[in-house]
Amino acid sequence: MTAVTLASLVEGFFLGWLGRDRKASPNTIAAYRDAFRLFFEWLEADRGVAATNASVADVAAGNVSAFLASLEEDRGCSPATVNCRLTAFQSFARYAARRDLDRLAQYRAITEIPRRKQRRREVDYLTPEEVGWLLGCCEPGSATELMIAMLYNTGARISELVSLTGDDVRVVPGGRCHVHFLGKGRKDRTLPMWEDTSQLLIEYMRDGGVRGEDYVFEGRNVDHLTRSGARSRIDAVVAKAAALHPELESRNISPHTFRHACAMAMLYAGVDIATVAIWLGHESVNTTHKYVVTNMAAKEEALAKVRASFGLGTTAQAARYKAPADVLEFLNSL
């Protein structure tokens, strides 16, 4: 039997497991690659083991935990970033455990490394009015105008949008467009668009001669617009809009903010959370739950229902709620 080496495991993990079997996105593969690259740099600097001399035994829970701690203490990485690096090693450990049965305990220990606790912040999103401010500062018919309109209309991730080709756009009767996205985890979804956004897309593709495998958002020196290029364009529009609407000055508006805005707009309109999850391409409704937490309209409605159920009215001088005697007796007996 051929001996299992670290090189063979790493190669099999990236080329076989992630690339071929799991069909992981290029972004996922790049993130996992960076995690291992940083780990091997740390291993040489802290443990004196060069990457060329590293063995399977070096990828142990103790070393991985120490590496993650160095990310926090030396590089100032956030808990979210550290957890992303940990995910790479835990995925590798689960893969390696199937091919190196002699070291099951070593790999299991890596999968049991606890994740850092992250502060759960409410999502930052834009209101329809604020999206309108940004669109009003775009050059009519520009790629930036189309990009912002489509991000808000579809809730697409920016990586999904910049990868859009002519073949992914289908014009249906009535002049509206259905757009196909290949999302995170290689999940396909097709979404309809509003008439005005559809018209923007149709005119942009016609004027730019976009068809077939041509990318809708063409890059300058690359095949298609990059994520950083998209962010740069949005930053320019935000700066212009902020000069007219100071409320935007302190906001951190990124391409992903429009995804949040789309989800919140749907919830405010009364769309159920399961449909929102499908629309955004979430694998679990639990992922979409963060938008429900942020939905202030739902919270206000819940508050009003509670007041009404106890006959408290809406005034600040309403009587305090008094627990029934049997409830007090139960609590006192605990």
User: Region 184-190: what's the mean pLDDT?
Assistant: 75
CA terminus-to-terminus distance, the chain: 64
Q: Does residue 293 carry a pLDDT above 90? A: no
User: Region 171-178: what's the mean pLDDT?
Assistant: 91
> What gap in Å lies between CA 240 and CA 9, rounded to an integer?
51
> What gap in Å lies between CA 36 and CA 86, rounded to an integer?
10
pLDDT at 266: 85
Q: What is the DSSP letter of 24?
A: -
Stated pTM of the model = 0.63
pLDDT at 323: 52
Burial code (b: 16+ CB inside 10 Å, e: under 16) for 52-78 equals eebebebbebebbbebbebbeeeeebe
Q: Does residue 287 carry a pLDDT above 90? A: no
Burial code (b: 16+ CB inside 10 Å, e: under 16) for 297-332 equals eeeeeeeeeeeeeeeeeeeeeeeeeeeeeeeeeeee
> What gap in Å lies between CA 237 and CA 259, rounded to an integer?
17
pLDDT at 187: 75
> What gap in Å lies between CA 116 and CA 131, rounded to an integer?
35
pLDDT at 306: 45
pLDDT at 65: 97
Q: What is the DSSP letter of 57?
A: G
User: Region 10-39: what's the mean pLDDT?
Assistant: 90
User: Region 215-242: what's the mean pLDDT?
Assistant: 92
Can you list the domains of the chain with their CATH numbers? 6-111 (1.10.150), 128-294 (1.10.443.10)
- Residues sharing a CB contact under 8 Å with residue 254, sequence separation 6 or more, in sequence order: 231, 234
User: Region 271-287: what's the mean pLDDT?
Assistant: 75
Burial class of 177 by CB neighbour count within 10 A (0 to 12, 13 to 18, 19+): buried
User: Region 215-233: what's the mean pLDDT?
Assistant: 90
Per-residue pLDDT tens over the stretch 85-137: 999 999 999 999 999 999 999 999 999 999 998 766 666 789 999 999 999 99
